[in-house]
Structure 1
Amino acid sequence: MTSLVGLDLAGRRVVVVGAGAVGVRRTRRFLEDGARVVLVDPDPSDDARRMASHGDVDLLERQVAETDLDDAWLVVAATADDTVNARVSAWCEDRRTWCVNASDARTGSARVAATGRHGDLAIGVVGVEAPDPRRAATVRDALVRHVSAGQVDLRRHRPGHGRVVLVGSGPGDPDLLTTGGREAVRTADVVVTDRLGATGILDELPDDVLVVDVGKSPTNHPVPQEEINRILVEHALAGRTVVRFKGGDPYVFGRGGEEVHACRAAGVEVEIVPGITSAFSVPALAGIPVTQRGVATSVLVTSGHAGADPATTGALAAGATVVLLMAVTSLPDICAAALADGVDPDLPVAVVERGSTAHERVTRATVATASTVMADAGVRPPAIVVIGRVAAEGFLDDPVCATGPSRRRHDG
């Protein structure tokens, strides 16, 4: 009978005898687990030599000796010679050291599971009789897909230390929430959510997950930041896993840093799962590249709350793309200041409302006309404002427009 056991190999010596394709493949896996790997082979592969040249492994270019197994926690016999593999397995048996015999699993004392990962879970499959690696891998893949599809409740059932996970949910389309973000949400006992982002995924959570809505709008801040911080800390100190579900990325005008400070000050473990920031993804989905060789080689991301500051008008005057978040109200003042600083009045402006969603709308104007055009169109938050040559309508459809001056000169 074979028992499935997880081994913690971090910092521990693992000896792999045979530095061919099989040995190198196993070595890479052990390195991911943090093991100290020693490769032994008189004629190692080029891949093994490259790994050794980077200092990832210790490579012994000679025949294996029994003393090579000293202090080893795990040994893998992966040579092309069945006799050598059997000899290594026998040495391990005498030493009571776990050994994987890659050529004959029945003579080794251990087997390497076909393993997949989902967050902090490792899902492994091991054959208990004649080894069939492809069969084990097929079953493993099916199990991982089942868990990844949200068919399993991933919340912890044993009491433990609470923690807070700041998850960036992206611009709004649930398909743009990262895999890591989905996994974190599915482990939550409590979700403290913004009004924006991929909030639709919260409908998939079990009914007993507490969802706390602290979302803000430009004219309505029902829950002050200090109260949000208190909610996070209070639930975490009660032993719960708390996901702070934030639109975009937590550290791009998301006050993620303030929430991390609050958690750390209270002694609460806090993790970050970055999100796809709306500053770049929303323009991209609307056909606006925020940089383009020869047209815009730098980009400034700023908040409309900063108003018409010198950094914004200076970037526009220098030909950079400026992306403004939370700037619908302040856009007229910003454009007026830009004009006063000599920015081209015909410089394109694009405002993307509810980017990445089915309700997305793009309104275009220039620095000179933006105030009037946006008011007439009834533009409302949430919206991303892009100012620069890349914001011109049809920019990517016009080869002349989409190539910079230097490229046009080169083309004659």
Structure 2
Amino acid sequence: MSTELDLAGRRVVVFGGEPEVLRHLARLDRTGADITVVAPAVCPAIGAMAQAGRIRWHERSWRPEDLDDAWFAVACTPAHNEDIARAAEQKRVFCTRADTEAAADVRPGHPGPGVALIGAGPGDPDLITVRGRELLGAADVVLVDRLAPLELLAGLRPGVEIIDAAKLPYSRTMAQEHINEVMVDRALAGRFVVRLKGGDPYMFGCGFEEVSACAKAGVPVTVVPGVSSALAAPALAGIPVTHRGMAQQVTIVSGHVPPDHADGLVDWSALGRLKGTLVILMGVTHVAKSSELLMRAGRDAATPVLVVQDAATRFQRVLRSTLADLAQDCATHRVAPPAVFVIGPTAGLEVPQALQAPAATEAPHPLVS
């Protein structure tokens, strides 16, 4: 795609819903284009983008009229690319065909068969480590999670196999066993595989399971740590998780299991008795029960709470609340995953004026303070 095209606010149509399309969507998304995807079915990551309102999705086959009023088109449906390109030419719409892109290999040297498990950080593609970006540029295959910064896919070479390993809540999933099998199979076939994950691979993820699967199969694996949203989200909202004389303890827990569930491993009663900062990841669904148990165990109902949704992205939102009002405030302001909850005295600190400029200028709902 030409970097000289100004597509901000202009209609762009992408035909196709396979994971390969993510690379094109990532490039287009950062231009600010008004993106429509046309495909009978899409991979989970594209579906999540549509659900979040970042793109429109027409769930059907392509039609020539889809190109009406479009400035640019991307054809990623091999059976129809020629017809789409011909129709675009007739309507004088710039069009890129995925099957005719230059296949120049610009990677910095092949590291050999194996797997790299890379933590890509909380959302901003610039927060991936230098080592992580270097290995990503050498990949033959990329298995990407929904929470990994999809903008990183924009820099992949044409021909890199992209596999959507998105695990969407209450939706279709790619079983962890299958993810392990794909990584191992591609590596044993002589390819360099990158498993791209949001945050840090070992923070409430299946990173160690994936490393163990590779080790069992004799596949060399490299782990590249990433910046976790547990610490990054509060910082990006201007709040420290520790502060001299106020908080000398940070506890990070996962809230994805119902607090009173038999499979739960979190001692919510003990958390309620702590005085430091509590950070909850994956806690949106069970926020009402979690806050109730914390108060029942001794946490003051007036304890400040900071909620950061879509941290480090242009959709970042910040909500201030208290433990007593948290569940209702989340419902009122339609807080949705991914969101980080920061509970404790530091959550009530006033953000210095120098940090007032938010990381995001666009949001699905107004910023709340």
Structure 2 residue 286 is the aligned partner of structure 1 residue 330: yes
Partner SS state of residue 294, structure 1: coil
> Which of structures 1 and 2 has the bigger CA Rg?
1
- Distance, in Å, in 1 between the alignment partners of 2:304 and 2:175 is 36
What's the offset of the Cα at 1:305?
Answer: 2.1
Distance 2:332 2:109 in 1: 49
Distance between the aligned counterparts of 2:234 and 2:203, measured in 1?
16
Runs of 4+ with >3 A deviation: 306-313
Alignment of 1:196 onto 2:147: yes
Q: 2:322 is matched with which residue?
A: 366
Structure 1 SS opposite 2:267? helix
Separation (CA, whole Å) in 2 of partners of 1:221 and 1:247: 19
Residue number in structure 2 paired with 1:237: 188
Q: Per-residue deviation at 1:224?
A: 0.9
Q: Aligned residues: percent identity? A: 44
Q: What is the CA distance between 1:316 and its match in structure 2?
A: 4.0
Q: What corresponds to 2:300 in structure 1?
A: 344
Structure 2 residue 163 is matched with structure 1 residue 212: yes
Aligned partners of 1:316 and 1:388 also within 8 Å? no
Contact 1:166/1:243 (8 A) holds in 2: yes
* Aligned-partner Cα distance in 2 for 1:296–1:218: 33
Q: Residue 207 of structure 2 aligns to which amino acid in structure 1?
A: G
Match of 2:342 in 1: 386
Q: Deviations over 1:97-122 (max 9, x none)?
A: xxxxxxxxxxxxxxxxxxxxxxxxxx
**Alignment partner of 1:272 out of 223, 227, 231:** 223
1:396 and 1:342 map into 2 onto residues whose CA distance is: 30
Partner residue of 2:107? Answer: 153
Write the letter of the residue equivalent to 1:293: R
1:296 deviation in Å? 0.9
CA–CA distance in structure 2, aligned partners of residues 354 and 310 of structure 1: 24
Contact 1:170/1:249 (<8 A) preserved: yes
Q: CA deviation at 1:175?
A: 1.1
For the residues of structure 1 that align with 2:235 and 2:131, how far apart are their CA atoms? Answer: 22
Residue 319 to residue 241, structure 1, CA distance change in 2 (3 Å): same
TM-score normalised over the length of structure 2: 0.63
- 1:289–1:316: structure 2 CA closer, same or farther, 3 Å change rule? farther
Q: What's the CA shift for 1:379? A: 0.4
- 1:263-317 deviation line (CA, Å, top 9, x unaligned): 1111111110110111101110101101111111011111012443663442342
User: Higher relative contact order by CA 8 Å / sep ≥ 6: 1 or 2?
Assistant: 2
Q: Do the aligned residues in 2 keep the contact of 1:161 with 1:237 (CA within 8 Å)?
A: no
1:258 aligns with one of 186, 209, 217: 209
Q: Which residue of 2 aligns with 1:181?
A: 132
Aligned residues of 1:316 and 1:322 also touching (Cα < 8 A) = no
CA distance in 2 between partners of 1:206 and 1:379 (Å): 36
Give the corresponding residue for 2:253: 302
CA–CA distance in structure 1, aligned partners of residues 350 and 171 of structure 2: 36
Instruction: Kindly indicate whether the alpha-carbon contact (under 8 Å) linking 2:106 and 2:157 is maintained by their aligned counterparts in 1.
Output: no
Q: Which amino acid aligns with 2:337?
A: P
Secondary structure in 1 matching 2:335:
coil
Distance 1:161 1:261 in 2: 20
Retained in 1: the 8 A contact 2:141–2:160? yes
1:6-405 to structure 2, matched below 5 A, reads 152-156=106-110, 162-308=113-259, 311-392=267-348, 394=350
Secondary structure of 1:153's counterpart equals coil
Alignment gaps of 5+ in structure 2: 1-104, 260-264, 354-369
SS in 2 for 1:305: coil
Alpha-carbon distance in 1 for matches of 2:308, 2:132: 25
Structure 1: gaps (5+ residues) = 1-150, 398-412
- Name the residue aligned to 1:22: none
Query: Aligned residue pairs: how many?
Result: 245
TM-score, normalisation: structure 1: 0.57
Offset at 1:393? 5.3
Matching residue's letter, 2:291: C
In 2, Cα distance between equivalents of 1:314 and 1:291: 19
> Residue 359 and residue 393 in structure 1: after superposition, are their counterparts in 2 closer, same or farther (change >3 A)?
farther
How many angstroms does 1:220 deviate by?
1.9
Preserved contact between residue 352 and residue 383 of structure 1 (Cα < 8 Å): yes
Deviation of the 1:206 alpha carbon? 1.0
**Kept after mapping to 1: 8 A contact 2:255/2:281:** yes
Contact kept, 8 Å, 1:312 with 1:322, in 2: the verdict is no
Q: Which has the higher helix share?
A: 1
